[in-house]
Every structure is written in structure tokens, then in C-alpha cells.
């Protein structure tokens, strides 16, 4: 399966920036093409437009313009599709730089808020789903360990100056082993296997216990017989 990559990895750009999109597929890197859905709803290859160059599986937009706003993805000749990326070319005074690609759970994520006109007096507020989740004077906010609860629609705002357009931050599950409990199916298999071993091992355990009891009783009987023989010999010697 192919995966659409974007460089730089962000979803908002100012006019006249450069964006590079490519389809990463180790098995068949030439079988995919970058396609896009425009604001008008049409679908077309990423091959046309001023300042745009394409080689099928890659597309470089050299001078971004609002008409380049849209959803981009990779598509094969037989109709398979990759992940999609929503790219926005902004005319706002404030720009939010956030990852266009999904970030892994547990990874560090840095959001950047940029003003078209810099000023040392700026303060930057970061909002998720309409609520302020952080403020800074540097224009950066870092989520040190991303989780599903950090996923959402982000906007950055500079009070008295303006706010950015919104971007969605996706958080995907980590592929690394975690301390979370195993799935219910795994637990069910483990319990079934445990019960099987118990049922199979129980007869052997009972047999071992019974053999031990028999062996103990035989030793006890032998000792008692030996003691009785010894007592009889003593009595006989006294009688003689």
C-alpha cells in the first residue's frame, strides 16, 4: 500500500511557498499518482497549474496559490487509494504549522503559530476544538507525549492581530509494545489454554497422589509387621 508524504510536513502554507508531495511504495513506486480534490469538488491529477511539476508518483507545487487548496492522496491504476492530506493555502495574517501526517501515540508534537508581521509584543494562544489548551510568547506549543485525547481541530490566535485557519491533528496508535492489557480475544485464548492444561494434568496429579498414599501405607504396614515379629521373639525367649 502506498503512503502520501508531504514536505514540509504541515497542512497550512502561505502563498508562493513550495510543497513536495510523493507516493511512497517500496513494491511499486511507479504505479501510483498524486491526485487531488479541489474546492469545487472536482478530482484531477496533481499535474497542472503555474509552478507545478509532476512525475506521476511525485508532485512539486513551486508557487502555492489559494486554488491549490484541497485534499490530496495517492491512487493506483486499479483504484486503490492511500491516506489523504488536507492542504490549505492561507490568506490569513496568522498561520498554524501543524503536522499534515498522523503522529504516533507517545511522540512529541510541536505546533507553531506564525504572524505575517512579526512583533515582540505578540502572545500566542492555541485552541483545540474551541478551547484554549496553551499559550506562549515564542509561538510554539509542544505536546510531549501525544495521545488520542490530543487529537482534534486546532487554531492559533494572536489577540488583537488575528487567528489562523483550523487544522486537524491526527494521532494514530503506537506500533510499539505497551503495558496495556491484551485484547479480549487473546485473554479468551489464554484462559481456554489454561483450562485445557488443568483438565489434562489433573488425572496425572491425582494418580501421583494415590501412588504416594499407597506407598506410604505399605511402608507403615511393613513397619508394624516388623514390630510385631520383634515382640513375639521377646515373649518366646522368656517362656523358654
Q: Domain map of the chain by residue range?
A: 1-91, 92-174, 205-240
In the chain, which ranges are E strands? 3-7, 12-14, 19-24, 32-38, 43-45, 52-54, 58-61, 70-76, 81-90, 94-97, 103-104, 109-115, 124-128, 131-136, 140-143, 152-158, 162-163, 167-169, 171-172
Query: What pLDDT is recorded for position 103?
Result: 94
Binned at pLDDT 50, 70 and 90, residue 31 comes out as confident
Pick 1-91's CATH classification: 3.40.50.1460, 3.90.1150.10, 1.10.10.60, 2.60.40.10: 2.60.40.10
> In CATH terms, are 1-91 and 92-174 the same topology?
yes
| CATH architecture of structural domain 92-174 | Sandwich (2.60)
Chain segment 61-94, per-residue pLDDT in tens: 988 999 899 999 999 888 888 999 999 999 999 9
Residues 151 and 171: beta-carbon distance below 8 Å: yes
Residues 71 and 85: beta-carbon distance below 8 Å: yes
- Is the preceding omega at residue 8 within 30 degrees of 0, hence cis? yes
Query: What pLDDT is recorded for position 121?
Result: 85
CA 159 remoteness from chain centre:
34
Residues 37-61, mean pLDDT to the nearest whole number: 72
Give the gyration radius of the chain's Cα atoms: 37
For the ranges 70-79, 156-165, 175-184, the maximum mean pLDDT occurs at 156-165
| pTM of the shown model | 0.65
Amino acid at each position: 500500500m502506498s503512503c502520501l508524504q508531504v514536505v514540509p510536513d504541515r497542512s497550512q502554507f502561505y502563498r508562493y511557498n513550495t510543497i513536495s508531495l510523493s507516493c511512497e511504495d517500496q513494491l511499486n513506486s511507479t504505479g501510483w499518482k498524486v491526485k487531488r480534490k479541489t474546492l469545487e469538488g472536482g478530482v484531477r491529477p496533481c499535474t497542472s497549474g503555474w509552478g507545478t511539476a509532476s512525475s506521476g508518483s511525485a508532485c512539486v507545487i513551486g508557487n502555492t496559490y489559494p486554488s491549490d487548496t484541497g485534499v490530496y492522496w495517492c491512487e493506483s491504476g486499479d483504484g486503490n487509494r492511500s491516506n489523504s492530506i488536507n492542504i490549505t493555502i492561507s490568506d490569513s495574517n496568522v498561520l498554524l504549522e501543524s503536522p499534515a501526517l498522523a503522529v504516533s501515540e507517545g511522540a512529541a508534537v510541536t505546533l507553531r503559530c506564525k504572524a505575517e508581521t512579526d512583533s515582540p509584543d505578540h502572545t500566542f494562544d492555541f485552541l483545540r476544538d474551541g478551547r484554549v489548551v496553551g499559550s506562549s510568547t515564542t509561538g510554539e506549543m509542544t505536546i510531549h507525549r501525544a495521545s488520542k485525547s490530543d487529537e482534534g481541530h486546532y487554531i492559533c490566535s494572536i489577540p488583537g492581530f488575528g487567528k489562523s485557519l483550523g487544522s486537524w491533528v491526527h494521532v494514530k496508535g503506537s506500533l510499539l509494545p505497551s503495558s496495556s492489557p491484551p485484547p479480549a480475544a487473546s485473554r479468551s485464548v489464554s484462559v481456554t489454554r489454561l483450562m485445557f492444561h488443568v483438565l489434562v494434568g489433573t488425572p496425572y496429579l491425582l494418580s501421583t497422589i494415590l501412588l504416594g498414599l499407597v506407598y506410604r501405607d505399605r511402608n507403615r504396614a511393613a513397619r508394624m509387621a516388623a514390630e510385631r515379629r520383634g515382640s513375639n521373639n521377646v515373649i518366646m525367649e522368656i517362656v523358654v
